[in-house]
């Protein structure tokens, strides 16, 4: 076992396991009176024979409950039907290695980050069982093997995990455990049903909005009428007089919202509607289109403080450039539209010096940080328990509700549950940054790209969230994601330029790749057209990585139906490689209509094919919705789109009737990222198909134009 992955004595002998919001697939009862036995932080044997697996990742619809259970149970060689899964408590033992052991689920990193950890935990638990069997049977490790929840002696004796597990002794030293070869893989790679599905269908699943305590007050927030406005007077007289209202308080900080606290949600909403606040407008109200044009000017000219992502030059002068293609690519704000309200409940603790929070969050560690910052208390005084999440998409990495709930609970010395509905979050929440990108491709006499410039301008989320870290590192990886393409170009320079914006720029599924790959792949496609080359063959000629080449080749060259055109895109992200062919025609209004998406994906080992395909399909549909018409415009400091009614999420009739997904080399190596990788490819593939269908190059997102209603 790799020393970096060895579970500590604390994890082995103490291990965290808490919470009862569990998913249960029963096993035959053995002796319910036996005490549970914690083998390590991730495995507990119950007295009735069930095996509890503690899920270190937040379940937000992506399937971590099932996929990570498969990983651990496979290494443990457990009976799948004996499993129960519960969410991890707030404990550093469950920190994500991808995020420096912070409790964060994001970046398509749940399965790929926890794969080695859970394989090690499962192997350790199996070794504990084998060691106990060795003591009982007085035999060597070589005499014992495991099979789907059974310990089998070579002479025919057998013991069920359900019988031995609750009575297993824990060796004092890890080194006393036998070194075992891994069992045959029986669960990884199978499309097993989702473990959380039954509870969700039956209405037993507990989300953050369901987790309100009986004695908790409800708070809703009224943000300033413009970005950057400051409160002059809350105008709370009428609101305070309404029945059920407890208090009206402005939250701390410049341009902070007003909190309305009441006995129940309805009373809080009625009181918020009765507020008559006066706000001092900012000196320069935010205009997103004007800001985008400023970004475009910077992208054209460059800036002295640009972060150089890549600067490669040939040893000699390189091939001469005979043709240069340029593109200025613009993308506008989009947002998450997550249907479960943002939420957090805070209960005072530590003699009202801290609080225990429960929330639908992707990042308990960051909720703790936000609660501490807002309440001005030391971070250890706060803990955060995550629940099931009803839609996240990156929005719940930075959960505004956590800070508000902590501050209000400590002010009122009572539990407070903060809610921010989707209609509140669309005009007043976090957004993906606008971006302007200047690209230049120099072609040699054979049409090959021999010189490449990619300069992007956007607003870095980490500069807002972690200013000290941003100042030290000088760039935001999520802003440059996707710009670090895998094409072998002799001379290339990639730059990222950060400029702050008054709107809160946050993480959104696919992050920077959502606009960077659009710019790259549309220009590469234009270069292929200029070279009179097949678009896939043109890309293959620039790819040296064998995995990347296999993915592009896997798309093949099927016939294109009459009246349609095929567009292609390729990307490497989160350790995965993915290629897409989009079949596009015209709708009745003469706009792009998407008919089919065909993906080829190398995401390493696929733990659960059904879950992986669902992630590709879900990200692809979100990618098409964003690419097609989603936009959040700001004028005079206010969002023009105020609710789901006028935020142009794609409707069912606008979605493609077919999405195909082929996984390449799905049994090789370790898992790679899956959750985000399909989203960035849809926009460029559709734009490239449209160019081949009509000759028109689309250079901006959304494809149907800023302010489109999607009609």
Q: What is the 3-state secondary structure of 632-680?
A: CCEECCEECCCCCCCCCCCCHHHCCCEEEEEECCCCCCCECCCCCCCHH
288-333+431-701 in CATH: which number? 3.30.365.10
Q: C-alpha 10: how far from its chain's center?
A: 30
Task: Report the predicted TM-score, pTM, of the whole model to 2 decimal places.
Answer: 0.93
- Cβ neighbours of 35 (radius 10 Å): 10
Give the model's pLDDT for residue 709: 34
Interatomic CA distance for residues 68 and 122, integer angstroms: 11
Give the model's pLDDT for residue 172: 80
Determine the Cα angle at 395 with ends 390 and 398, to 5°. 115
Give the model's pLDDT for residue 103: 97
Kindly give the parts of the chain with pLDDT less than 50: 1-32, 707-711
Give the model's pLDDT for residue 581: 98
How do the domains of the chain map onto residue ranges? 3-202, 209-281+342-420, 288-333+431-701
209-281+342-420 in CATH: which number? 3.30.365.10
Give the model's pLDDT for residue 705: 82
CATH 3.40.50.620 given to domain 3-202: no
Give the model's pLDDT for residue 33: 54
Convert the pLDDT of each residue in 200-219 to its tens digit.
999 999 999 999 999 999 99
Give the model's pLDDT for residue 710: 34
User: Is-contact 58 105, C-beta < 8 A?
Assistant: yes
Q: C-alpha 155: how far from its chain's center?
A: 50
């Amino acid at each position: 076992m790799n020393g970096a992955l060895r579970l500590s004595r604390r994890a082995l002998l103490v291990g965290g396991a808490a919470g009862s919001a569990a998913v249960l697939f029963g096993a035959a009862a053995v002796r319910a009176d036996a005490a549970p036995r914690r083998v390590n932080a991730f495995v507990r044997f119950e007295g009735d024979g069930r095996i509890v697996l503690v899920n270190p990742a937040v379940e937000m619809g992506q399937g971590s409950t099932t996929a990570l259970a498969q990983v651990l149970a496979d290494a443990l060689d457990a009976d799948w039907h004996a499993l129960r899964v519960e969410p991890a408590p707030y404990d550093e033992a469950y920190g994500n290695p991808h995020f420096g052991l912070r409790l964060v689920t994001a970046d398509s990193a749940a399965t790929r980050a926890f794969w080695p950890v859970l394989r090690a935990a499962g192997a350790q638990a199996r070794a504990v069982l084998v060691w106990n069997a060795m003591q009982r049977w007085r035999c060597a490790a070589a005499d014992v093997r495991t099979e789907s929840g059974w310990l089998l002696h070579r002479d025919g004796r057998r013991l069920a995990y359900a019988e031995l597990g609750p009575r297993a002794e824990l060796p004092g030293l890890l080194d006393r455990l036998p070194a075992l070869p891994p069992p045959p893989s029986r669960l990884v790679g199978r499309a097993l049903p989702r473990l959380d599905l039954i509870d969700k269908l039956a209405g037993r699943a507990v989300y953050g909005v369901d987790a309100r305590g009986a004695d908790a007050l409800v708070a809703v927030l009224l943000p300033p009428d413009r970005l950057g406005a400051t409160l002059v007077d809350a105008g709370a007289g009428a609101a305070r007089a309404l029945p059920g209202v407890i208090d009206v308080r402005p939250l701390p900080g410049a341009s902070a919202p007003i909190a309305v606290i009441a006995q129940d949600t309805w009373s809080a909403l009625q009181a918020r509607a009765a507020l008559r606040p006066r706000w001092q407008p900012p000196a320069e109200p935010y205009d997103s289109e004007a800001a985008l044009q400023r970004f475009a000017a910077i992208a054209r000219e460059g800036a002295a403080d640009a972060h150089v992502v890549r600067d490669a030059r040939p040893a000699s002068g390189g091939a001469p450039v005979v043709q240069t293609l340029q593109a200025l690519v613009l993308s506008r704000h989009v947002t998450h539209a997550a249907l479960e309200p943002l939420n957090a409940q805070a209960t005072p603790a530590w003699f009202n010096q801290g609080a225990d929070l429960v929330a639908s969050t992707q990042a308990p560690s960051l909720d703790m940080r936000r609660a501490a910052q807002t309440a001005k208390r030391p971070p250890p005084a706060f803990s955060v328990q995550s629940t099931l999440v009803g839609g996240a998409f990156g929005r719940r990495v930075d959960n505004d509700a956590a800070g508000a709930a902590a501050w209000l609970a400590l002010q009122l010395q009572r539990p407070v549950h903060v809610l921010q509905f989707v209609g509140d979050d669309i005009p007043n929440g976090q957004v993906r940054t606008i971006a302007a990108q200047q690209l230049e491709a120099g072609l040699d006499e054979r049409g090959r790209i021999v010189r490449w410039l990619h300069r992007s301008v956007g607003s870095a989320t980490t500069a807002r969230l972690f200013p000290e870290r941003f100042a030290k590192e000088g760039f935001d990886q999520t802003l440059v994601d996707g710009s670090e393409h895998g094409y072998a170009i002799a001379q290339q320079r990639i730059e990222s330029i950060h400029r702050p914006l008054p709107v809160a720029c946050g993480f959104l599924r696919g992050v920077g790749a959502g606009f960077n790959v659009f710019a790259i792949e549309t220009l590469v496609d234009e270069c292929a057209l200029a070279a009179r080359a097949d678009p896939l063959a043109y890309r293959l000629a620039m790819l040296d990585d064998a995995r990347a080449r296999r993915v592009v080749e896997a798309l093949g060259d099927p016939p294109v139906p009459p009246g349609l055109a095929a567009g292609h895109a390729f990307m490497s992200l989160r350790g995965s490689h993915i290629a897409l062919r989009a079949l596009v025609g015209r709708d009745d209004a003469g706009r792009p209509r998407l008919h089919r998406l065909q993906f080829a994906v190398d995401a390493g080992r696929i733990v659960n094919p059904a879950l992986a395909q669902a992630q590709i399909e879900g990200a692809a549909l979100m990618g098409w919705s964003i690419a097609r018409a989603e936009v959040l415009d700001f004028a005079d400091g206010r969002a023009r789109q105020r609710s789901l009614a006028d935020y142009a999420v794609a409707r069912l009739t606008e979605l493609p009737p077919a999405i195909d997904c082929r996984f390449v080399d799905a049994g090789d190596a370790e898992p790679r990222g899956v959750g985000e990788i399909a989203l960035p490819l849809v926009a460029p593939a559709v734009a490239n198909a449209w160019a081949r269908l009509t000759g028109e190059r689309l250079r901006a997102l959304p494809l149907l134009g800023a302010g489109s209603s999607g009609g």
